[in-house]
Amino acid sequence: MQRRHFLKTAGLGAAGVAAAPFISTAKAQETITWNMVTSWPKNFPALGTGANEFAQRIETLSGGRMRVRVHGAGELVPALEVFDAVSAGTAEMGHSASYYWRGKVAASQFFTAVPFGMTTQETNAWLYYGGGQELWDEVYAKHNLKPFPVGNTTTQPGGWFKKEINSLDDLQGVKLRLPGLAGEAMNRIGVTTVNMPGSEIFTAMQTGSLDAADWVSPYNDLAFGLHQVADYYYTSAWNEPSAILEGTVNLDAWNALPDDLKAVVTEAARASNLSMISEFTFRNAQALETLVNEHDVKLRAFPEDVMQALYEASNEVIREQTENDADSKKVYDSYRAFQDTVRPSTDSGLFTYLKARANVGA
């Protein structure tokens, strides 16, 4: 009797021990579902699809434990309200460009593009190895956000213009869509700049509300049909020599994640960053050939007096901003110091090679 009772009790004990890890594992496998709001039209080439790929990487790397529903601009929130929506927790994630938020966070602009700043490769080095990510975390934590680089559109052209620009005088009074620090620099030399979602650019150019517009680069510009509303495409990449796309996570949602899922999101962001850079390198080459050879787009470079004026205006804008905003000064000091460090290597390596390649006709 006692023996039977012992065996029965022992059996229940073993079953209890066996059940414990099963219950724990089941709990660990509960699916976390987040929403990602974006500043791009749903499935828009590279930008919208880049957000989709980021979400898919998170699901794949997490083994399905984490899923992200991607929403195009206007589906849950307007294109230029991503920052506020993620900060408030309306959505757990966002995909956009940080210079859209310059009215809210002045220092955010340095995490998209800096006029006459670093290349894409140099910028990534600053973020991953030069302290840039840590500064970005610090600035955005004040707004309940955790940021990541999740893509880069690489070197961006100077934009589409309805008329040819032969001198600084030709820019006076031009109405141009151009955000960020570069937009403010253009204002200083007589241009009137505005910020608007990409989906509104074509109509604004068509109706005359805009005389010129910067969007992204040949791949996306071709997709929006900007060659149909402007003949001149300025290749001078002073405004965005590198253009980071940001992924943001609501900081409360981020802190609630277990460490392994935080690692999943981090690595998915890193992989998506590399993937988009590679895609733009390839797609831009194809699109530029199409624009020039099939649509007779006229490629131009800004004349020297325009470039000199833009350089001086950019320095003035940055100087004023860093004098009046402590975060901007801290971020830009780091950015500039890193650029000064890496430039000799870039100049003696990549720049010298590109000149040699051009000289020999390779």
Rounded Cα–Cα distance for residues 355 and 359 (Å): 6
How long is the chain?
A: 362
Residue 296 lies in a domain: no
Structure tokens at 330: 């801290």
Binding residue ranges = 156, 177, 214-215, 240
In a domain, 122, yes or no: yes
- Annotation: binding site for Na(+): 215
pLDDT of 30? 85
**pLDDT at res. 183:** 97
pTM metric for this prediction: 0.89
Contact between 72 and 48 under an 8 Å Cβ cutoff? The reply is yes
H-type alpha helices, the chain: 2-28, 47-61, 82-88, 120-129, 132-141, 180-188, 201-207, 218-223, 251-256, 259-295, 304-324, 326-346, 352-360
Tell me whether residue 58 is in a domain.
yes
Q: What was the pLDDT predicted at 320? A: 98
Cβ-based neighbour number of residue 223 at 10 Å: 18
Q: From residue 77, how far is each of 42, 45, 73, 88, 154 by CA, in Å?
A: 13, 20, 7, 12, 27
Q: Look at residue 29 in the predicted model and tell me its pLDDT.
A: 66
In the block, which residue shows the tokens 């960053």?
Answer: 273
Angle at 93 between CA 91 and CA 98, to 5 degrees: 115
User: What is the domain extent for residue 95?
Assistant: 32-152+242-281
The verdict on residue 262 lying in a domain is yes
pLDDT bracket for residue 7 (50, 70, 90): very low
224 part of a folded domain: no
Residue 353 placed within a domain = no
* Residue 216 located in a structural domain: no
Per-residue exposure over 114-150, b if at least 16 CB sit within 10 Å of its own CB, e if not: bbbbbbbebbbbbbeebebbebbeebbeebbbbbbbb
Region 302-320: mean pLDDT is 98
Q: List binding-site positions for substrate.
A: 156, 177, 214, 240
Q: Tell me the pLDDT tens digit for each residue of 163-190.
A: 999 999 999 999 999 999 999 999 999 9
CATH number for 267 = 3.40.190.170
Domain count, the chain: 1
CA-based nearest residue to 95, from 144, 59, 55: 55
Confidence bin at 6 (pLDDT 50/70/90): very low
Tens-place pLDDT, residues 131-142 = 999 999 999 999
354 within a domain of the structure (yes/no): no
